[in-house]
Chain A
Amino acid sequence: MTTTVDPTLAAELEEYRTLCRSWLTEVRIPDVPLSLTERFRVLREWQGVLFDAGWIGIAWSREAGGQGLSHLHQLVFSEELARARAPQPIGLIGLDVVGPSIDRFGTVRQRTELLPRLLSGEDIWCQGFSEPDAGSDLSSLRTHAEIDGDDFVVSGQKVWTSWAHLASWCAMLVRTNAQAPKSRGISYLLVDMSSPGIVTRPLTQMTGDQEFCEVFLDRVRVPRENLVGELDGGWAIARHTLGTERAAYTLRRRVEYEVALQDAINELSACPTRDADPRRAYRVRSAVGRSHVSLRVLEAQTRKTIGRLAADTGPVPEDSVDKLLLNDIEQQVYGSIADLLGPLRVAPSGRPLGLDAARWAHDHLYSRAASIYGGTSQIQRNIIAERLLGLPRD
């Protein structure tokens, strides 16, 4: 990030990095349990620890309970967190995805009451956008809300909602005007997950985790003051949310892949039998070499992303190129390392070539989601073709 930021800021960031690093060597970094409910509890506590020490909401305004620093400071901390092999806090959907939109478009009251609790991990948030019949075509969502006195009354169904069963709040898109064109009749509501009429049903992912849910809403009353922005004006906010998600996510994940590949290299190079079979040695070298190239490509790519963050451009179509590369690279890296497990990938206790079979098999499966969530790779390609290359719409 040398050329994209000015020297004074660069020096400040280096100082900040030292600060992060030394704090991370002093604090007790939690082990992440395999069981999801245990994991949730531990990582939520961890968020509290990070919050108390001032490492949460780094780029958020002070008014919203944040640190009032730049996105680059946030990036530095994320990098150091990953390098220290420390887990992310549990509330990332709040922190990276919906929180920034509430901060930007919410009322003073919404910001002052909700955001500090979101940051500390006291409140965990989920994002209720997708529906059974509205995934890629989000604007055709059907969950609807009618105004009744001081409340909205919400009915419908959401799906793939990460952490919905454990969250206390949901940033939800609902249809408030059935007559208006699809994207013009949608509102952005903040829904208390303990409201009567909400039922969540966890779905099991191919990794075995139950991280996301179906959410059923039956005449759920949501106070009118929980509307973010204008009535029927939720689409612009949703786009902001999705855009913010892409940039923050790309930068954070990149560092995580770096650390993962380094772990793989450490495991492989400590294994004395690695080179015993020339064919296998060939595959190992190729997997490591290709993955390293991929990660350097991503690093070069994110220099431009960082430049955009520093210039505060907000979401732009160029983010879709990042997302597309990110998807491919995550799958390339985890896929090729997991391939080295050979037949032992089905025996999680095995350590073929020194690799931790359970971890790599899990992470490989998880990588298949990369090209689905946050806008599928096909949707990113549509955006690139239409908005960056100017090709005609269908």
Chain B
Amino acid sequence: MTDTLVTEVEQTVDAYLARSYGAERRLTLAECHGWDRAFLDEIDDLGWFALAVPESADGVGLPLSAVGAATMSLGRHLVPGPMVERLLLPALLLRHIDGSGPPRHDLPGAVVALVDPAANGTWSVDDDGVRVESGGLVGSMLPVRFGQEADQLLTVAESAGELAVYLLPPQTPGLDIEPVASADPTARLARVTFTEPAGAGITPVLTGSAAGRFVTELRAWARILAACELSGIATRLVEDTSAFVQVREQFGRPIGSFQAVKHTLADMYALARSLRNLCDAALEDAVSSSAEDLPMLAAVTKAYAAEAAVGVCESAIQMHGGAGFTTETDLHLYYKRALALRGWYGDHEELAHRIGDALLAGAGLAEPGDVS
């Protein structure tokens, strides 16, 4: 059931992108780091952003795995823009927030930037989290994707040993959003700072165990989607590289007839294929996974994706020779995006450590700096 659904969504998205989205558009969009209202409206008209939005909020009501399926295609075509921010976050929030007034009804169609310091692990020294203090928020985070462009900022804050989830409009007093340079061709970035208790008096949308449940799912799905996008990237680069080595000639024959090249392609294929299978399995299992199992499932998927996809990109660059190092091909865009995704919510090394820890302790997966 999930399987056919995933295939259908993926094929629909893929067919559209194959038709209407080519290298030229990719380049144009990458030049503005994916912030293009017209393009977002186009996607909106296709109904993709509504895929996983519940029917009660006028969405299509598909499970979140449908977002994963769409994301594989977005990865394959390297579609820049606030995709996770619009495909996943509103849909996920709507599953967790009760009621009918705001903020629920502002969510469908909104671009929701994610301010979850856990996305950066413990790498940042200056920007070390967001806390609730004197009824407002203090702290900062770098980088936040589409922080400046977003309609809402979904903020995960620490509040007296628990988590609290806030949804803040960008105009919130005390909230400072400063654009910063981005090396991710698909995303604009910002530094978000909460000063002198920002948004004092604003009530969180989720607190206590409800916030805990939401954040667990959020992080798990963020990892699964990153893996799906990486899987799309890897699949695409195997196809492109395989086509390239059959036409590029050296020593009087296609380089694809040289065994060193063939074996590299075979390894790339095995990596991309196994990553794809892992993502399929994760999408299939995630929907019915318990709250205890989901984080492990997601961490495993992301850990492998982080390593496998970047490996495929690097081999693709190598197999393209000098051209692979230039900006004349799209390879560098794929590579930079893969590197950005690799670090987000933990790369293979970090996650392997957390997975190992959990297995040895016979416990669930812990986030660094977990407050619970």
Interface residues of A (CB under 8 A from B): 2-3, 265, 268-269, 274, 282, 284-290, 292-293, 296-297, 299-301, 303-304, 321, 324-325, 378, 380-382, 384-386, 388-394
Within 8 A of A (CB), among B337-361: 348-349, 351-357, 359-361
Q: Decide if A389 touches B265 in the complex (CB within 8 Å).
A: yes
Say whether B278 contacts A321, CB under 8 Å: no
7 A–B contacts from the bound complex (CB under 8 Å)? A285-B356, A296-B304, A300-B277, A300-B281, A301-B274, A391-B257, A392-B253
Q: Does residue B55 face the partner (Cβ distance < 8 Å to A)? A: no
Q: Which of B236-283 contact A (CB under 8 A)?
A: 238, 242, 245-246, 253-254, 256-257, 259, 261-263, 265-267, 269-270, 273-275, 277-278, 280-282
- If A385-B263, A389-B242, A391-B256 touch, whether A289 touches B355 (CB-CB below 8 Å) is yes
Contacting residue for B270 out of A289, A324, A390, CB 8 A: A324
Q: Which residues of B contact A297 (CB under 8 A)?
A: 274-275, 277-278, 304
Residues of A within 8 A of B351 (CB): 289, 293
- How many Å from the CB of B312 to the closest CB on chain A? 13
Q: Which residues of A have CB within 8 Å of B277? A: 297, 300-301, 303-304
With both beta carbons as reference points, the residue of chain B lying nearest to A3 in the complex is identified as B3
Residue of B nearest to A282 (CB): B353
In Å, the complex CA distance between A392 and B242 comes to 11
Q: Give the top 5 A-B pairs by smallest Cβ distance, nearest first.
A: A289-B356, A289-B352, A285-B356, A381-B266, A385-B262
| A394 and B356 contact, CB distance less than 8 A | no
Given contact pairs A289-B355, A385-B265, A274 touches B254 in the complex (Cβ within 8 A): no
Bitwise, B301-323 to A at CB < 8 A (1) or not (0) is: 10110000000000000000000
Contact A324 B266 (CB under 8 A): yes
C-alpha gap A265/B245 in the complex (Å)? 44
- B354 partner residues in chain A, CB cutoff 8 A: 289
The closest CB in chain B to the CB of A2 belongs to: B284
The total number of A-B Cβ pairs within 8 Å is 129
Contact A290 B257 (CB under 8 A): no
A286 to B361, Cβ gap below 8 A? no
Shortest Cβ distance from residue A4 to the other chain B in the assembled complex, whole angstroms: 9
Q: Are A299 and B269 in contact (CB under 8 A)?
A: no
Query: Using Cβ atoms and an 8 Å threshold, which residues of chain A touch B257?
Result: 391-394
Closest B residue to A386 by beta carbon equals B262
* Of A286, A384, A385, A394, the contact of B353 (CB 8 Å cutoff): A286
Q: Is the CB of A292 within 8 A of B355?
A: yes
Neighbour of B265 across the interface among A3, A274, A391, CB < 8 A: A391
Alpha-carbon gap, A282 to B254, bound state (A) = 46
Q: Which residues of A contact B2 (CB under 8 A)?
A: 3
A282 CA / B238 CA spacing, docked (Å): 34
Q: Which of B254, B262, B355 is within 8 Å of A382, CB to CB?
A: B262
Note all chain B residues with C-beta closer than 8 A to A321.
Answer: 269-270, 273-274
**B102: Cβ under 8 A from any A Cβ:** no
| A321 CA / B228 CA spacing, docked (Å) | 20
Taking a contact as CB atoms under 8 Å apart, the answer to whether B269 and A391 are in contact is: no
**Distance (whole angstroms) from the CB of B315 to the closest CB of chain A:** 13
- Report the Cα distance A382→B260, complex, angstroms: 10
Nearest CB to that of B276 among chain A residues? Answer: A300
By a CB distance below 8 angstroms, the chain B residues around A292 are 300, 355-356, 359
Report whether A378 and B269 are in contact in the complex, using a CB–CB cutoff of 8 Å.
no
Most buried by B among A268, A297, A321, A380: A297
Residues of A within 8 A of B359 (CB): 265, 288-289, 292
